[in-house]
Amino acid sequence: MLLKQAFSPLVDLIYPPRCPLCGEGISEQRGLCLSCWSELVIPGEPSCATCQRPLGVDAGEGDGMICAACMAAKPRHDGITAATIYNDTSRKLILAFKHGRKIALAKMLARQITARLPELEGEWLVMPVPLHRLRLWQRGFNQSALLAGEIARLTDQTLLVDGLDRKKPTPALGGLGRKERARVLSGAITTNAKHAYRLKGAQILLVDDVMTSGATSDACIKALRKAGAGTVRIACFARVLDEAL
What is the distance between the alpha carbons of residues 162 and 223, in angstroms, rounded to a whole number?
Answer: 13
Q: Is residue 18 part of a domain?
A: no
What is the CATH number for 112? 3.40.50.2020
Q: Is residue 54 part of a domain?
A: no
For residue 13, is pLDDT > 90? no
Q: Quick one: residue 130, left, alpha or beta (phi over 0 = left, psi -120 to 50 = alpha)?
A: beta
pLDDT tens figures, 89-145: 999 999 999 988 899 999 999 999 999 999 999 999 999 999 999 989 989 999 999
User: Structurally, how many domains does the chain consist of?
Assistant: 1
Find the domain containing 212 and state its range.
61-244
* Least confident piece of the model among 20-24, 81-85, 123-127, 235-239: 20-24
Which pLDDT score is estimated for 182? 77
Contacts of 58 (CB under 8 A, 6+ apart): none
How many other CB atoms sit within 10 Å of the CB of residue 65?
Answer: 16
Q: Is residue 102 part of a domain?
A: yes
Q: Is residue 19 part of a domain?
A: no
The DSSP code for 160 is -
Q: Is residue 24 part of a domain?
A: no
What is the distance between the alpha carbons of residues 100 and 140, in angstroms, rounded to a whole number?
Answer: 12
